[in-house]
Chain A
Amino acid sequence: MAYSDKVLDHYENPRNVGVLDKDDPNVGTGMVGAPACGDVMRLQIKVSEDGVVEDAKFKTYGCGSAIASSSLVTEMVKGKTLDEVAAIKNSEIVEELALPPVKIHCSVLAEDAIAAAIADIKAKREEQSTVKASA
C-alpha cells in the first residue's frame, strides 16, 4: 500500500519521540492498543498549572500510519489548552495525513491516546486538590 508523503515524512522523521516522567504531577500518560494489528501507543503531555500543554512525547509500536498519527498529534497538542486538545478529532488526523479507509483506525488510536492522557492528568489534579482541601 502506498503511504502519503505526509505519512512518510512523519514515519521517517517522527517528531517528539520519547518519554516523560509518568510520576510527574504535571504529566498525563495515555496508553492504548489496537488488537486488530497489535499496535501499542503511549502518548504523554506535560501540562502547565493553567492547563496549557507545554510538551508532548510519544512512543508507538505499529505501522507507519500509527506512528505518523501519533507523531502528528504531539505537534497538534503543543500550546493548546486541555479543552482544545480534548476537541481534537481523529478526522483531522485522517485529513492531514490523507489516510486511506483501512488506516482510519490508526487515527482513532491517536485520538483515544489523547483522551486517555487528558483523563490521567485530570485524575492527578483532582487527587491533588482533594489532598490540599483535606490538608
Chain B
Amino acid sequence: MQVDFSNNYFELFELPVQYVVSQDHLDTRFRSLQRYLHPDKFASASDAERRWSMQAASFVNEAYQALSKPLSRASYLLSLHGISLDEETDTQMSPMFLMEQMELREALGDAPDAADPYAALDKISAQLNNGRRDSESAFTSAANNADWTEARTVVRQWQFLEKLNSEVQAQEARLDDAL
C-alpha cells in the first residue's frame, strides 16, 4: 500500500473525483490506511521512515475529515477545480438569503425566552435541516453540470447554515445545563 502525497484526497481514498461518495468505502479504506500506518509497525524503522509514517498518518486523517463531512467535501471539490470561496473577502450574498439568515438568528436569540424553548429550537433546526438538504442536492446537480459558479454560491450559503446549526446545538446544550 502506498501513500502518495501528490495525490488528492479522492485519489488517496481510491474514489472518483466527485461529490457523491460511499461512506462505507471511505471508512473501510480509512481503517486499512490507519492499520498500515500504525506506529507499532514503524517501531523498529529508521527515523526517516517513522517521520514519513507520521506525516502520512496526518495526511490520511486530514483527507478523511475533509471527505467525510458533506460541506467540507463540497468545499474541497471546489478547491480542486480552482474555485475559491473568498469566505473572508467576498461579502456579497443574495439579500433575500441574508434576510432569512437574520430572521433565523433573531428566532434563535428569542428561543430561550419562548414558552417552550425546546419547541422553538426544534422549529429552527427543522428549517436548517431542510436548507442543508437543499444545499446538498443543489450542490450535487451544479457539480454534475460543472456549473462551478453556482456550486460556489451554494457552498457559501451552506456555510451559514452549518454555522447556525452548531449555534442551535450549543443553545440546546445550555438549556439542558439549566435544567
CA distance A36 to B87 in the complex (A): 5
CA distance A109 to B156 in the complex (A): 15
Is the CB–CB distance between A31 and B98 below 8 Å?
yes
Is the CB–CB distance between A40 and B102 below 8 Å?
yes
Is the CB–CB distance between B91 and A38 below 8 Å?
no
Is the CB–CB distance between B102 and A42 below 8 Å?
yes
Interface residues on chain B, number (Cβ under 8 Å)? 23
Return the contact of B105 from the options A36, A40, A116 (Cβ within 8 A). Answer: A40
Chain B interface mostly: helix
List, in ascending order, chain B residues with CB within 8 A of A34's CB.
87-88, 91
Some 16 contacts from A to B, beta carbons below 8 A apart, are: A31-B93, A31-B95, A31-B102, A33-B91, A33-B97, A33-B101, A34-B88, A35-B87, A37-B163, A38-B101, A38-B164, A38-B167, A42-B98, A108-B88, A108-B91, A109-B91
A40-B98, A109-B91 known; 15 new pairs, CB 8 Å cut-off, are A32-B92, A32-B93, A33-B98, A33-B101, A34-B91, A35-B93, A36-B88, A36-B159, A38-B101, A38-B159, A38-B167, A40-B102, A40-B160, A61-B102, A112-B91
**Interface residue ranges, A against B (CB under 8 Å):** 31-38, 40, 42, 59, 61, 105, 108-109, 112-113, 116
